[in-house]
Amino acid sequence: MPSVLITGATSGFGRAAAYRFAKAGWSLILTGRREERLKALEDELGSQVEVLTLTLDVRDADAIAQALKNLPEALLPLTCLINNAGLALAPEPSQKVALRDWHTMIDTNITGLVNVTHAALPLLIEHGAGASILNLGSVAGQWPYPGGHVYGASKAFVQQFGYNLRCDLLGTGVRVTDLAPGMAETEFTLVRTKGDQAASDALYRGTTPLQAEDIAEQLFYLATLPAHVNINRLEIMPVRQAWSPFAVDRDKT
Ligand SMILES: NC(=O)C1=CN([C@@H]2O[C@H](COP(=O)(O)OP(=O)(O)OC[C@H]3O[C@@H](n4cnc5c(N)ncnc54)[C@H](OP(=O)(O)O)[C@@H]3O)[C@@H](O)[C@H]2O)C=CC1
Ligand SMILES: O=CCS(=O)(=O)O
């Protein structure tokens, strides 16, 4: 059976992807920090497919290297890595942001993604043709907006790291994609606003954001493309989201 390692499987895109890949019979390696949520997924999906849960913080390089070194043979070689764990913090302007929030985004979205990728690469290369690394980038990695600061920059890293990985992986058969969603309704905004449910509800109210299942469907599509096809970047927005005009600072009259 093909196997997929999903980081950040306890919520949002990662959780929806666990269900999507399980539906197709894939073996699952699910990670996140919230153990009780991982156990609930294992209880629910474990009767359909092989499920291994790893309670891990992607910022802990040693724990990740150790865990991936000791994967059961039945889950190897690894068919797909979904680098999904990530977060935005501090929607306010740069000059008002606490430095630790910038560090948390860099440590999670950049260092965490690099930690997992480094540990998983040998397992994907062993699989060869048909293996994939699917990285969750964002429209924020391409398009600037107020309050995007380090979050957007971290997603620009995800894109360029993926492109550079492709150069190094040429000849191994391992594919790399930057999947870059726009507005999607998950726990993302609750995390970004540090638990402000009203602010999260307000952002998604009166429009039609992407849902986690929309992204899970794209992840499954990418992972099951013919082995000779690599989509380098896939940007997806809800129909009801688009760009705005440039902002201009004007004299007060
Ligand atoms: N929702 C959106 O509008 C968009 C989101 N994205 C990106 O998609 C990805 C998933 O986001 P989404 O599903 O929306 O958000 P959620 O907040 O719903 O899910 C985020 C997941 O990441 C995990 N996570 C966060 N920090 C860590 C960490 N240090 N170690 C391990 N796991 C961690 C969380 O698990 P736990 O807390 O249990 O550790 C959780 O499972 C992120 O990379 C995000 O930047 C991209 C574009 C749009
Ligand atoms: O990555 C998340 C989407 S947005 O909040 O930057 O538009």
Looking at residue 253, what is its pLDDT?
85
Give kind and range of the element (H or E) at residue 45.
Answer: helix 35-45
- How far, in Å, CA of 155 to CA of 139, rounded? 8
The DSSP string of 93-158 is -GGGS-HHHHHHHIIIIIIIHHHHHHHHHHHHHHH-TT-EEEEE--GGGTS--TT-HHHHHHHHHH
151 is catalytic: yes
Nearest-CA residue for atom 1 of ligand 2: 138
Q: Would the CB of 183 count as within 6 Å of ligand 2?
A: yes
Burial class (CB in 10 A: 0-12, 13-18, 19+), 190: middle
Distance between CA atoms of residues 228 and 230, nearest Å: 7
Pocket mutation for ligand 1, best pick of 186, 192, 210 (most atoms within 8 Å of C-beta): 186
Question: Does residue 140 line the site of ligand 2, with CB under 6 A?
Answer: yes
pLDDT tens for the chain, residues 1 to 253: 999 999 999 999 999 999 999 999 999 999 999 999 999 999 999 999 999 999 999 999 999 999 999 999 999 999 999 999 999 999 999 999 999 999 999 999 999 999 999 999 999 999 999 999 999 999 999 999 999 999 999 999 999 999 999 999 999 999 999 999 999 999 999 999 999 999 999 999 999 999 999 999 999 999 999 999 999 999 999 999 999 999 999 999 8
Give Cα separations from 204 to 33, 60, 85, 188 (angstroms): 26, 33, 21, 11
Distance between Cα 108 and ligand 2 center (Å): 16
CA distances from 51 to 73, 77, 122, 129, 182 (A): 13, 15, 21, 23, 30
R_g over Cα of the chain: 18
Cα 176 to middle of ligand 1, angstroms? 19
**DSSP-derived 3-state class of residue 199:** helix
pTM: 0.98
